[in-house]
Structure 1
Amino acid sequence: MSEDLRDLVRREFEAAYGTEAAGIWSSPGRANLIGEHTDYNEGFVLPFGIDRRTFAAVGLRDDARIRVGSTFSDEIAEIALAELHPDAVSGWSAYPLGVVWALGRLGHADLQAVPGVDIMLESDVPVGAGLSSSAAIEGAVAFALDELWRLGLDRVELARVGRTAENDFVGAPTGIMDQMASLLGRDDAAVFIDCRTEEARAIDLRLAENDLTILVIDTQVEHQHASGGYRERRASCEAGAAALGVASLRDVTLADLERAREVLDDVTFRRVRHVVTENQRVLDTVAALAEDGPRAIGELLDASHRSMRDDFEISVPELDLAVETAQSSGAIGARMTGGGFGGSAIALVPRGLVSHVQVAVDGAFAEHGYAQPVTFMVTPSEGARRE
């Protein structure tokens, strides 16, 4: 598949712009093993890059303009580098153009001096499925421009660029997890990230040697991070931290929850409880993987979903059904993944039971009158790279 997409994006670049690309770069989507809505609370997360990627064919221009096209849209967006600002762009092109703007905003590139670029994108990361198609775009474009403009940025700095693009250009109030996973991913490993210090290290998953795989169940219920539900949850977390007198919920421990219950209203308390307990589940998952391997983390995944469903209230009936059906059909553990309000669930499944779980999920969705989900296996994979 990757070879096909590389060839396709190269051909589309030449057809659209009448010249050859200087190169092709790619970056993966991500699934989050555990640690949801903890990143913007300066907590812990454990995502991984997946083997579905966005490819960017990029070439330099001899003027100060930028053009962005994609094989999934007939539109080619064009704008002068000097005119880039959040109100000037809308739609899907805001993600790649936001990266260019963020490189200037953060002082990494002088947009008055660098050459313009042409960009063509292709991707097999599902859009709206909670697998961070946006971070895959941001990672591929940032990695390409870092090389072509000779900026010399490291991967964490490029992740910050992507987050700035998403927060301040697109207007989605996300943390840095998605961009870090897309840029720092490694084969057969998750990325343990401390979102306060932005330190990251690979955590071996050893899925193949344990005869396990991760099954994605895309409910086909699309979500959007820039919409209200995500913003409300973030605002609740910030209000909870302020009421408890701490800089962020990272500073609240399990032992503090009793006092938090007395100080906070019920809804804010439950939002805070999710974040605090989810941080602990991430740490427990890292320890369990090191000590006992991936078969030991099932209950932590299950508990994470219950917390997102009951305390953070970001699940939807389709996600709950996917998780419950996977659990009852032989999955070691399952949970929704991503920002919530739709998107995908993941299930840790013995390889021999994958078809059984898929058939069971299809049947359950049909029985409930839901649209048929899309299920597929993902492999933890390498982060951004030049192809």
Structure 2
Amino acid sequence: MIVPSTRSPEELAAEARAFLAEKAGPDTDPAAPTGTWLAPGRVNLIGDHVDYAYGVCLPYATTMATAVAARKRSDGLLRMLSQAPNGELLDASVALAELDEAVNAPDATPGILPDWRGYIAGTVHALGAGGMDIAVVSDVPLGSGLSSSAALECAVGVAARDLYELGTSDEELIAATMRAENFYVGANTGGLDQNAVVRGRAGHALALDFLGNTHEQVPCAMEGYQLLIADSHVEHSHATGEYSSRRGLIDAAAAALSCSFREEDIVERAVEWAAENPADALGNEPEVVRRRVRHVHSETARTIEAVEALKAGDVERFGRLMNDSHASLRDDYEIVPDALEAAVQAALQAGAVGARITGGGFGGSTIALCPDDRVDEVAAAIESATRSGGFPVPTIYATSAQDGARRV
């Protein structure tokens, strides 16, 4: 069953304003009225685990979004209000002066605020903004691979930029939100999510080339097809070891080989390096290095081809590339748990032209590109396959490309 559409931007904004007024009190300073800002989650159509390896990714901003209501305060304090999935009220305060001390300490290392507060406070501090009251309301499911963290960071970022009239460019905003995640929280992720969330445009996917540091809006109407997202309810976290182990190896290979992973001989070069320098390869066997680097190399090539297929309106070809991407993430990068594999195979057997895991892996969501007349069958097949396999039954959404972070 496909769930009804998520709340509209206006509904999310209204709930965030009401939440702030209820928990922090109504506006009392005419010079600091409450405003509301919104940032969507993102789905990556193809191109995963290559944003940190000079690759090409193709995400778009989704209908699921995070809204924040925010207002300035003059005491240098950030008060942050949110609600945990179990309904618990999250109410925390952080002094920006204390963050100054922590960031500038001689022994400062990533992870100085390694929980939900770091996404908010890290963004505000990295932008150089002042004190704020911030209330968060979100429809982006946590741990779903749909970038709930970047949605939160970017909603807070545009709020801080506007409230303090910082004049920050989109590039600077993206850099600040990435620093919040990488340094303040300590999650060693790439820049795919923040780029997609900030630069999203309705009806378009965003082709991101991390080698040339370029981006291109690509129309993605896909007439006659719908994209389904299946949130597996198998949670993942970018701050945990499996993701970091994959990135650590690729970072080490890039440094040792001075490569972009687009070179024709890069896989064999990486295998030779690992055989000769096992410590530098972080203890990974040469055959493991072969698979990991082969994924990065082939995924970038696939994504470049997928961009061309999307421009040409060749949905069948695009779907085949999605399937090849999933196989590479499963077999070479080894990030696909059984629950998500069951969902992907069920979608394909029920008529999807393409299906794959999306995001960082080890849990999260799958996506399926379905002909309009097969949408219900695909959703039913995913539910049946996961239930019969003893896995959590996914929540399934239909989605389309939306605008990025903005004031509402």
Asked if 1:227 corresponds to 2:240, the answer is yes
Residue aligning to 1:106: none
| Number of corresponding residues | 373
Residue 280 of structure 1, CA deviation: 0.3
Residue aligning to 2:391: 370
Residue 261 of structure 1, CA deviation: 4.3
Mean Cα deviation higher: 252-261 or 166-175: 252-261
Residue 149 of structure 1, CA deviation: 1.1
Report if aligned partners of 1:53, 1:136 keep a CA contact under 8 Å in 2: yes
Report if aligned partners of 1:12, 1:71 keep a CA contact under 8 Å in 2: no
Q: Distance in 2 between matches of 1:289 and 1:349?
A: 15
Residue 90 of structure 1, CA deviation: 4.4
2:26 to 19, 22, 26: 19
1:54 to 66, 81, 86: 66
Q: Distance in 2 between matches of 1:376 and 1:251?
A: 34
Match runs of 1:145-224 below 5 Å: 145-207=160-222, 210-224=223-237
Report if aligned partners of 1:65, 1:81 keep a CA contact under 8 Å in 2: yes
Residue 296 of structure 1, CA deviation: 2.5
Report if aligned partners of 2:111, 2:186 keep a CA contact under 8 Å in 1: no
Report if aligned partners of 2:200, 2:402 keep a CA contact under 8 Å in 1: yes
Asked if 1:30 corresponds to 2:35, the answer is no
Q: One-letter code of the match for 2:118? A: A
Residue aligning to 1:254: 264
Match runs of 1:327-366 below 5 Å: 327-366=348-387
Residue aligning to 2:121: 97
Residue aligning to 1:123: 138
Report if aligned partners of 1:281, 1:300 keep a CA contact under 8 Å in 2: yes
Q: One-letter code of the match for 2:396? A: T
Classify 1:172/1:89 alpha carbon distance in 2 versus 1 (closer, same or farther; 3 Å).
closer
3-state secondary structure, aligned to 1:346: strand
3-state secondary structure, aligned to 2:15: helix
Match runs of 1:276-355 below 5 Å: 276-355=297-376
3-state secondary structure, aligned to 1:126: coil
Q: Distance in 2 between matches of 1:90 and 1:241?
A: 27
3-state secondary structure, aligned to 1:232: helix
Q: One-letter code of the match for 1:237? A: I
Q: Which runs of 5+ in 2 are unaligned?
A: 1-6, 28-32, 103-109, 275-285
Report if aligned partners of 2:126, 2:180 keep a CA contact under 8 Å in 1: yes
Residue 239 of structure 1, CA deviation: 2.9
Mean Cα deviation higher: 64-73 or 150-159: 64-73
3-state secondary structure, aligned to 1:180: helix
Q: Which runs of 5+ in 1 are unaligned?
A: 104-108
3-state secondary structure, aligned to 2:42: strand
Residue 266 of structure 1, CA deviation: 0.6
Q: Tell me the TM-score normalized by structure 2.
A: 0.88
Residue 293 of structure 1, CA deviation: 3.4
Residue 327 of structure 1, CA deviation: 0.7
Q: Distance in 2 between matches of 1:220 and 1:380?
A: 23
Residue 219 of structure 1, CA deviation: 1.2
Mean Cα deviation higher: 223-232 or 193-202: 193-202
Q: One-letter code of the match for 2:204? A: A
Classify 1:58/1:237 alpha carbon distance in 2 versus 1 (closer, same or farther; 3 Å).
same
Report if aligned partners of 1:142, 1:158 keep a CA contact under 8 Å in 2: yes
3-state secondary structure, aligned to 1:178: helix
Residue 260 of structure 1, CA deviation: 4.0
Identity of aligned residues (%): 40
Residue aligning to 2:79: 67
Q: One-letter code of the match for 2:363? A: G
User: For each residue in 1:259-300, what CA deviation from the matched residue of structure 2 results, as whole angstroms up to 9, or x when unmatched?
Assistant: 444444110111000000000011000111112433330110
User: For each residue in 1:235-266, what CA deviation from the matched residue of structure 2 results, as whole angstroms up to 9, or x when unmatched?
Assistant: 111233345x21x4x24423443444444411
3-state secondary structure, aligned to 2:288: helix
Residue aligning to 2:55: 43
User: For each residue in 1:163-218, what CA deviation from the matched residue of structure 2 results, as whole angstroms up to 9, or x when unmatched?
Assistant: 110000000000010000000011111111112343211111112xx111110111
Classify 1:255/1:115 alpha carbon distance in 2 versus 1 (closer, same or farther; 3 Å).
closer
Mean Cα deviation higher: 156-165 or 174-183: 156-165
Q: Distance in 2 between matches of 1:350 and 1:292?
A: 14
Report if aligned partners of 2:111, 2:183 keep a CA contact under 8 Å in 1: no
Residue 71 of structure 1, CA deviation: 3.9
3-state secondary structure, aligned to 1:279: helix
3-state secondary structure, aligned to 1:40: helix
